[in-house]
């Protein structure tokens, strides 16, 4: 009988961490998840997993806690998914972003190096490390050109992970993931804001959820968002966590771009979401300066050829299907309230 593997996931309460936990449980892993102590203990993304995963309270700013947990659980695989993950917030919270997203990764690498150096280590890198690079298509050889505090913190974390791989021979991989979304995406991101707003407006919801600055998401039948011309390469998060696992099963630790190699604008997103509920997006979406980024990233798409060739990974869900599944999930969620 093969021995059950243990995986340690930071950020298990988030979108990716929760999907990854689903995947690893299906594969028979013992999953240990790091969750921040919360005042309301309401973890919507992992409510269905309570009792099936081991939850440990802790924080990426606390190296003692991370050292103790890695020493205690001796995980075969470590997935460092946690971060201050919202690029737009990183201008207002540059210190927290550096502390958690950059130094938090270093603390996790150190904990693994000291207490379980043969653990396979996944680092949640972001396409934001390419920032303003003027390349239509980015791959693993594209130079780093981060242009916001979040991207710069992720670049530090990624390069530190590479350094631990080179210096100590650790099996460490960086997944350079382009944007990926789902019904578990937080309302701090434009995709979920738009799908939730379309669902609220369609159903005539009286008390919509709050947006990232604490205002009602929908006011007078309208949702306020930032730059309609912003361009992203959007995929489905449930598929992207499969790539994380595949990276750690490969015989060689490497970095991989995970993307769809297609791009759409925020305007396309609005059109697709409001089409799903039979409404004209132009009647319901307003661009508001307050949600604009001070610097925008380049309109690049991701070339996932290496992941396809070496891991057998490729995206399966189209942009239209992704938006539809998110709107449908929001309609169900609001109807059940």
Residues that bind ligand NAP (CB under 6 A): 10-11, 13-17, 34, 36, 38, 59-61, 81-85, 100, 124, 126, 177, 179-180, 186
- Residue 73 or 277 with smaller CB distance to ligand NAP: 73
Report how many helices (DSSP H) and strands (DSSP E) the chain contains, helices first. Answer: 10, 16
- Residue 193 or 284 with smaller CB distance to ligand NAP: 193
Residue 125: CB minimum distance to ligand NAP, A:
7
With residue 236 as reference, give the H or E element that holds it.
strand 235-236
- Residue 29 or 130 with smaller CB distance to ligand NAP: 130
Q: Rounded CA gap, 74 and 145, in Å?
A: 36
Residue 143: CB minimum distance to ligand NAP, A:
18
- Residue 14 or 131 with smaller CB distance to ligand NAP: 14
Please answer whether residues 78 and 29 qualify as being in contact, where contact means their C-beta atoms are separated by less than 8 angstroms: no
Q: What b/e sequence results for 207-231 when a residue is b if at least 16 CB atoms lie within 10 Å of its CB, and e otherwise?
A: ebbebbeeeebbeeeebbbbbbebb
Q: Rounded CA gap, 208 and 211, in Å?
A: 9
Q: Rounded CA gap, 126 and 154, in Å?
A: 7
With residue 16 as reference, give the H or E element that holds it.
helix 15-26
Residue 183: CB minimum distance to ligand NAP, A:
12
266 in helix, strand or coil? helix
Residue 22: CB minimum distance to ligand NAP, A:
13
32 in helix, strand or coil? strand
Q: Could you tell me the two tokens for 48?
A: 């269905």
Residue 160: CB minimum distance to ligand NAP, A:
14
- Residue 156 or 202 with smaller CB distance to ligand NAP: 156
- Residue 36 or 113 with smaller CB distance to ligand NAP: 36
Q: Which residues are catalytic?
A: 126, 128, 150
Residue 10: CB minimum distance to ligand NAP, A:
6
Q: Rounded CA gap, 21 and 46, in Å?
A: 9
Residue 252: CB minimum distance to ligand NAP, A:
22
- Residue 82 or 196 with smaller CB distance to ligand NAP: 82
Pick from 295, 314, 294: which is nearest to 304 by CA? 314
Kindly give the residue spans of alpha helices, DSSP state H, lying in 132-235. 149-168, 190-203
Pick from 35, 299, 327: which is nearest to 182 by CA? 327
Please answer whether residues 122 and 77 qualify as being in contact, where contact means their C-beta atoms are separated by less than 8 angstroms: yes
Q: Rounded CA gap, 77 and 79, in Å?
A: 7
Counting every residue written for the chain, the total comes to: 337
């Amino acid at each position: 009988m093969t021995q059950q593997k243990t995986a340690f996931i930071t950020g298990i309460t988030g979108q990716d961490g929760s999907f990854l936990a689903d995947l690893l449980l299906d594969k028979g892993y013992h999953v240990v998840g790091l969750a921040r102590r919360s005042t309301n203990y309401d973890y919507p993304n992992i409510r269905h997993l309570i009792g099936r995963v081991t939850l440990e309270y802790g924080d990426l700013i606390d190296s003692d806690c991370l050292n103790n947990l890695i020493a205690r659980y001796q995980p075969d695989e470590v997935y460092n998914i946690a971060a201050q993950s919202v690029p737009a917030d990183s201008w207002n919270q540059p210190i927290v972003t550096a502390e958690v997203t950059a130094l938090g990764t270093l603390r996790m690498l150190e904990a693994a190096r000291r207490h379980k150096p043969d653990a396979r280590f996944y680092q949640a890198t972001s396409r934001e490390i390419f920032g303003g690079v003027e390349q239509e298509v980015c791959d693993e050889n594209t130079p780093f050109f981060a242009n916001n505090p979040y991207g710069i913190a992720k670049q530090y974390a990624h390069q530190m992970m590479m350094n631990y791989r080179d210096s100590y021979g650790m099996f460490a991989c960086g997944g350079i993931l382009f944007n990926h979304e789902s019904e578990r995406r937080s309302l701090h991101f434009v995709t979920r804001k738009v799908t939730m707003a379309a669902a609220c407006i369609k159903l005539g919801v009286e008390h919509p959820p709050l947006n990232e600055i604490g205002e009602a998401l929908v006011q007078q039948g309208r949702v306020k968002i930032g730059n309609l011309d912003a361009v992203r390469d959007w995929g489905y998060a449930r598929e992207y966590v499969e790539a994380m696992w595949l990276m750690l099963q490969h015989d060689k630790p490497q970095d991989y771009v995970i993307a769809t190699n297609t791009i759409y604008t925020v305007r396309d997103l609005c059109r697709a979401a409001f089409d799903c509920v039979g409404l004209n997006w132009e009647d319901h979406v307003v661009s508001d300066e307050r949600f604009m980024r001070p610097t925008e990233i380049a309109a690049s798409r991701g070339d996932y050829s290496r992941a396809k060739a070496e891991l057998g990974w490729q995206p399966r869900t189209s942009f239209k299907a992704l938006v539809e599944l998110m709107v449908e999930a929001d309609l169900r969620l609001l109807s059940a309230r």
